[in-house]
Amino acid sequence: MQYVLDKSMPTEVRVKIRADAAEVDEAIRDYKENARVLLADKLVAQLLEREKINPVSRPMYEGDELKPGQSYEFTARLAVLPLINLPDYASLEVRLPEPGLEPEELRGVFLSLLRHFADVREVTDGRKATAGDIAVVDIEAAADGVDVPEMHAHDLRVHLDEKGRLKDVSVVVMGLSTGETGNGTIVCPDDFPRESLRGKRISLKITLNKLFSEQLPTLDAEFAKKIGFDTLDALEKKVLSDAMGNKIAAIKTMAGEKLLNDLLDKTDFPLPEPVRALFIRNEFLEARDIMLRAGMQREQITARLQEQRTAMEAQAERHARAHCYLLALAFRENLQVPEKELEKAIAQMAGKNGNPAELRKNMEKNGTLSDVQERLLTVRAMEFLYSHVHKVVVDRNGNPVEAPQKA
């Protein structure tokens, strides 16, 4: 193999590769109808290892068909990361709230545990829904008389607790009997995908399909023994330990996201076009699937996606920049994805009834295996980033606590 590299562009390497006649004949013999692409893949893989190039998407090939007994020349275009200014992470600092559980959080933790073992029975006597019941509802939403399908729901299960996440829905449902419909309003959240609706009042039409009563067990020593603990104290300690672990994990995630966003705000670099295009495509596919599940017609979806195009592309580009930044960090620190971790990810994708080996073979053929490897690599890079910055735990007023704590 002979080749000539062109590294004049910040986000793409172009290489002209020439395979001799013997390599061509061997590829035709071994790869049959796939000879041209598989020969190109083989030669480019050798090139990448030799030149220490880390592409961030599948190579694009330009060349004619193979001919037995003749040499073959083609061009490979490789999307690569631009030069990204990565700081000394030990000089960076993140501020973390002192971990602790508020009384309402503790109540929610134990309530979730009790609900797992609750006696739930359908209400069939026609009584009205009250606090503490479980309602199964359909929801229709509209803003200024115009349908908002993204907020529609079918057979949504709601715990009728006014302090819960769906408190506005609970307020409407309480007082209804099965089969009845009530009306209410909510304020559209600030993070709603459709920016034009944020902060607006949304009208809700809620139908109660089914109603269930919920009898919670008593949190006592008998209950603790029933679920495998020697004492109530042992159960409470385990629940609190798990809850604190989850709280610390959430703090770590939020701090890591803020750290990465701050770094991206201070770092400018061009995006490789294939990466940008992939993230935009995925953003639109995910939005489309959400709208389909909400029952929107395809014509409505097309119009809505067009309306949101600018905001969605900006969001996708932000995610693509984070992806590239973390990949650059992974390459600089020579981070690797262990084979067992990759196998686990593929097995999860295959599902209980799938064949991980067959899935992996197909992913290797269509190039999506490298996408999974990159995603896992960015996770490792994020862990590396967070572990190497200086962490300061602060109280509610933002003042550092005396003893640093890990999160």
- Residue 405 reports pLDDT greater than 50: no
Tokens of 84: 């990204």
Closest by CA position to 115, among listed 156, 172, 160:
160
Portion of the chain with pLDDT greater than 70, in percent: 98
Q: Which sequence spans correspond to the domains of the chain?
A: 2-79, 119-215, 232-270+333-394
Most confident range, picked from 34-43, 100-109, 305-314, 318-327: 318-327
The Cα 334–Cα 132 span in angstroms is 54
Mean pLDDT of the chain: 90
Letter string b/e over residues 370-387, b meaning 16 or more CB atoms within 10 A of that residue's CB: eebbbebbbbbbbebbbe
CATH code for the part of the protein at 119-215: 3.10.50.40
369 vs 136, residue with greater confidence: 136
**Spatial contact of 129 and 177, defined as CB atoms under 8 Å apart:** yes
Residue 404: which pLDDT band, with cuts at 50, 70 and 90?
Answer: very low
At 211 the three-state DSSP class reads strand
Render pLDDT for 345-401 as a digit per residue (tens, 0 to 9).
999 999 988 899 999 988 887 778 888 999 999 999 999 999 999 999 988 888 888
The Cα 283–Cα 312 span in angstroms is 7
Render pLDDT for 208-242 as a digit per residue (tens, 0 to 9).
999 999 999 999 999 999 999 999 999 999 999 99
Cα dist. 122→38, 117, 134, 291 in Å? Answer: 61, 16, 9, 31
Render pLDDT for 156-172 as a digit per residue (tens, 0 to 9).
999 998 676 788 899 99
pLDDT of residue 401: 84
Render pLDDT for 314-347 as a digit per residue (tens, 0 to 9).
999 999 999 999 999 999 999 999 999 999 999 9
Q: On the CB side of 56, how many CA atoms lie within 13 Å of its CA?
A: 29
Kindly state the average pLDDT of the residues 73-84: 94
What's the whole-model pTM score?
A: 0.80
Give the CA diameter of the chain: 86
Please tell us whether the domain made up of 2-79 is placed in CATH 3.30.750.24. no
